[in-house]
Amino acid sequence: DTEVTQTPKHLVMGMTNKKSLKCEQHMGHRAMYWYKQKAKKPPELMFVYSYEKLSINESVPSRFSPECPNSSLLNLHLHALQPEDSALYLCASSQLRSQINEKLFFGSGTQLSVL
């Protein structure tokens, strides 16, 4: 079982809806990440939080709004999405030792469909 838990597993939303994706980890990791993955493509980094502060934003449109309420939780707020935003959204965490061999632990993702 993954130690990074994402909810919901599936989400269907209209372009005018507001929804949120949630991610939780209890491994004491201090870095958390959001990735977007299209079918049969590699994951693309969206955001990185380190010590609950946003440290990397990969020029993601403002209709995606991340939030890190505490070191265990990561949210992704969605508003006015487009159909092309339909994808698998993966959350990941890592210890944040800033070393080359630091591995990421991923959740199972939220499959998002925007109608």
Partner 1 sequence: AQKITQTQPGMFVQEKEAVTLDCTYDTSDQSYGLFWYKQPSSGEMIFLIYQGSYDEQNATEGRYSLNFQKARKSANLVISASQLGDSAMYFCAMREGNAGGTSYGKLTFGQGTILTVHP
**Count of chain residues binding partner 1 (CB under 8 A):** 31
Q: Tell me, residue by residue from 54 to 93, as one string, x for binding to partner 1 by CB under 8 A and - for no binding.
A: -xx-------------------------------x-x-x-
Distance of alpha carbon 47 from alpha carbon 34, whole angstroms: 5
DSSP three-state, residue 92: strand
- Answer for the pair 107, 23: CB distance below 8 angstroms, yes or no: yes
Distance of alpha carbon 74 from alpha carbon 82, whole angstroms: 22
Q: Considering beta carbons, is residue 66 or 109 the nearer one to partner 1?
A: 109
Residues in touch with partner 1 (CB under 8 A): 2, 31, 33, 40-43, 45, 48, 50, 55-56, 88, 90, 92, 94, 96-109, 111
